[in-house]
């Protein structure tokens, strides 16, 4: 089973992905980490030295080349579904779960976590809010195509169990 977790930065894809993988008893991977391991470079540094377009190429390549095992949960980057037809590829190659979150939730989560995310590094609170609103509007049509949608807020063990059961 291949499960792809998609959603905006700060929605908690990695935390939820790890827990879900644990319940399903299959390995967990994080696409950003896979990219950093392969490139031997941090995401921020890739953006800085090679630019976003190069990052999107690498991201697309890593997603498709990835074959860690037959069964896994992979948490993707916030932009992954939006570029290079990745959402179509994920829908065709596994189960896609959208971790849905409201702008206010995302803003509070991202406020203190800007530095390692090149798209929001250096933005003040107002700019961050505006960025989230604008970006979410553009990206949500891609996220909404997921097979399953679960709310990030109030996600507890019981709801995760229900999701795990649905997926098996």
Residue from 12, 17, 78, 81 in contact with ligand S3P (CB under 6 A): 78
Query: Which residues from 127-166 bind ligand S3P, rule CB under 6 A?
Result: none
- Cα–Cα distance measured from residue 43 to residue 39, given in angstroms and rounded to the nearest whole number: 9
Joined together, the tokens standing for residue 126 give 């107002």
Q: Is 62 annotated as a binding residue?
A: no
- Residues 6 or more apart whose Cβ sits within 8 Å of residue 46: 35, 39, 54, 55, 58
Q: Tell me: is residue 32 an annotated ligand-binding position.
A: yes
7 annotated as ligand-binding: no
Q: Does residue 62 interact with ligand S3P by CB under 6 A?
A: no
* Residue 43 touching ligand S3P (CB under 6 A): yes
> Is the Cβ of residue 47 or residue 94 nearer to ligand S3P in the bound state?
47
- Rg value, the chain, Cα: 15
Please give the distance of CA 42 from its chain centroid, rounded to a whole number: 16
118 binds ligand S3P (CB under 6 A): yes
Binding residues for ATP: 10-15, 117
């Amino acid at each position: 089973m291949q499960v792809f977790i998609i959603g905006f930065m700060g929605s908690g894809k990695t935390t939820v992905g790890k827990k879900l993988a644990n319940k399903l008893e299959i390995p967990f991977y994080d696409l950003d980490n896979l990219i950093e391991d392969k490139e031997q470079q941090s995401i921020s540094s890739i953006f800085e030295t090679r630019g976003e377009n190069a990052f999107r190429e690498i991201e697309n390549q890593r997603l498709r080349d990835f074959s860690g095992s037959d069964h896994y949960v992979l948490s993707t980057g916030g932009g992954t579904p939006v570029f290079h037809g990745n959402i179509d590829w994920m829908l065709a190659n596994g189960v896609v779960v959208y971790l849905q979150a409201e702008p206010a939730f995302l803003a509070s989560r991202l406020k203190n976590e800007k530095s390692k995310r090149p798209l929001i590094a250096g933005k003040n609170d107002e700019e961050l809010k505006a960025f989230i609103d604008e970006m979410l509007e553009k990206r949500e049509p891609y996220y909404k195509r997921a097979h399953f949608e679960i709310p990030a807020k109030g996600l507890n063990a019981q709801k995760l169990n229900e999701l795990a059961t649905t997926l098996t």
